[in-house]
């Protein structure tokens, strides 16, 4: 017997669904609609689920839309390193310093390109052009402000105003391979070279990378990557290490493929010792470009 479902999900009774976008305080109420289930076998039956005008229950869902299709990268393989701190607290999934979806971000205005800022230069800092196989400076589609976090009330605060831009949207090709941007730092050696970073968090559509081996953002550089179809092998390894207590986490070499772009825009935020920095800074993240 074949079962054809004309539903993305079934809502029974008087239920209204409310979705909250992670980067917006606004919400959308989804009105119930009639759905039909058709069963084809020896007999054909059509069942209708009718809507009700009464609203009795609210269901709160963090995301809207279907998960992106998995795009494994040919020949990819990943190792792990021992974590040199206690496990993340709160847990990574709900930690506003590790999972950027907890904070969210909002669009702002500003220069859509590299800018020159006065300050010292770290020659070993991660270079964002290394996200791309051709080492290009991408077109900047948009700029954003990440929301601050109020740790006293454990709630999202206002958009971070200094610096004025804390996340950039880079123009990419859909399904374009995205690489782990290396740095001059080495967090674990092998005979020829060393791991450049550790995966603090992975979901099907975002990554958080750390350029030291502590399970927090207190020291060293942290990189948040949004709208990335994370390689299934890397995601699976992260999930296994997370479930095992996070004494080890996945580690990456500079230039190693980590996933593919989901859409035409890749979101990137970078931090140092916990503070969000401006990803447009020429002298910091785009040296030699």
User: How far, in Å, CA of 273 to CA of 165, rounded?
Assistant: 17
The whole-number average pLDDT for the span 226-238 is: 97
The mean of the pLDDT values for the chain is 81
CB-facing half-sphere around the CA of 227: CA atoms within 13 A: 20
Q: How confident is the model at residue 186 (pLDDT cuts 50, 70, 90)?
A: confident
Q: What is the pTM of this model?
A: 0.76
Task: Specify the pLDDT at position 71.
Answer: 60
pLDDT tens for 146-170 read 999 999 999 999 999 999 999 999 9
pLDDT at 103 over 80: yes
The whole-number average pLDDT for the span 124-128 is: 97
Alpha-helical (H) ranges within the chain are 232-243, 282-285
User: How far, in Å, CA of 31 to CA of 15, rounded?
Assistant: 9
For the ranges 8-17, 46-55, 213-222, 273-282, the lowest mean pLDDT is seen at: 8-17
pLDDT at 133 over 80: yes
Task: Specify the pLDDT at position 119.
Answer: 80
Task: Specify the pLDDT at position 8.
Answer: 38
The whole-number average pLDDT for the span 222-249 is: 97
Q: How confident is the model at residue 271 (pLDDT cuts 50, 70, 90)?
A: very high
SS3 for 96-129 is: CCCCHHHCCEEEECCCCCCECCCCCCCCCCCCHH
User: How far, in Å, CA of 210 to CA of 190, rounded?
Assistant: 19
Cβ atoms of 87 and 249 closer than 8 Å: no
Q: How confident is the model at residue 69 (pLDDT cuts 50, 70, 90)?
A: low
Q: How confident is the model at residue 75 (pLDDT cuts 50, 70, 90)?
A: low
Percent of the chain, pLDDT > 90?
68
Task: Specify the pLDDT at position 22.
Answer: 39
pLDDT at 184 over 80: yes
CB-facing half-sphere around the CA of 285: CA atoms within 13 A: 26
pLDDT at 188 over 90: no
Cβ atoms of 278 and 163 closer than 8 Å: yes
Task: Specify the pLDDT at position 73.
Answer: 73
State residue 285 phi and psi, 5-degree precision: -115, 0
For residues 272 and 37, the model is more confident at 272
State residue 93 phi and psi, 5-degree precision: -60, -35
Task: Specify the pLDDT at position 88.
Answer: 97
């Amino acid at each position: 017997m074949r079962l054809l479902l004309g539903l993305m999900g079934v809502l029974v009774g008087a239920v209204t669904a409310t979705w909250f976008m992670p980067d917006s305080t606004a919400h959308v109420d989804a009105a119930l609609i009639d759905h039909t289930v058709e069963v084809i076998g020896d007999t054909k039956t059509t069942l209708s689920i009718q809507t009700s005008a009464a609203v009795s229950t609210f269901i709160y869902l963090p995301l809207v839309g279907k998960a992106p299709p998995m795009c494994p990268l040919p020949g990819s393989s990943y190792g792990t390193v021992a974590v040199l701190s206690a496990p993340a607290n709160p847990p990574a999934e709900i930690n506003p310093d590790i999972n950027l979806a907890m904070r969210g971000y909002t669009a702002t205005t500003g220069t859509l390109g590299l800018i020159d800022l006065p300050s010292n230069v770290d020659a070993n800092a991660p270079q964002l052009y290394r996200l791309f196989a051709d080492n290009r400076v991408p077109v900047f589609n948009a700029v954003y402000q990440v929301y601050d976090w109020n740790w006293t009330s454990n709630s999202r605060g206002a958009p971070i105003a200094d610096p004025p831009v804390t996340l950039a949207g880079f123009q990419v090709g859909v399904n374009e391979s995205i690489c782990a941007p290396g740095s001059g730092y080495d967090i674990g050696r092998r005979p020829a070279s060393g791991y450049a970073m550790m995966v603090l968090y992975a979901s099907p559509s975002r990554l958080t990378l750390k350029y030291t081996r502590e399970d927090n953002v207190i020291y060293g550089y942290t990189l948040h990557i949004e709208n990335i179809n994370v390689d299934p092998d890397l995601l699976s390894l992260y999930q296994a290490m997370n479930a095992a207590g996070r004494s080890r986490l996945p580690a990456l070499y500079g230039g190693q493929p980590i996933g593919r772009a989901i859409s035409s825009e890749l979101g990137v935020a970078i931090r140092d010792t916990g503070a969000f920095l401006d990803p447009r800074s020429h002298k910091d993240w785009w040296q030699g470009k």
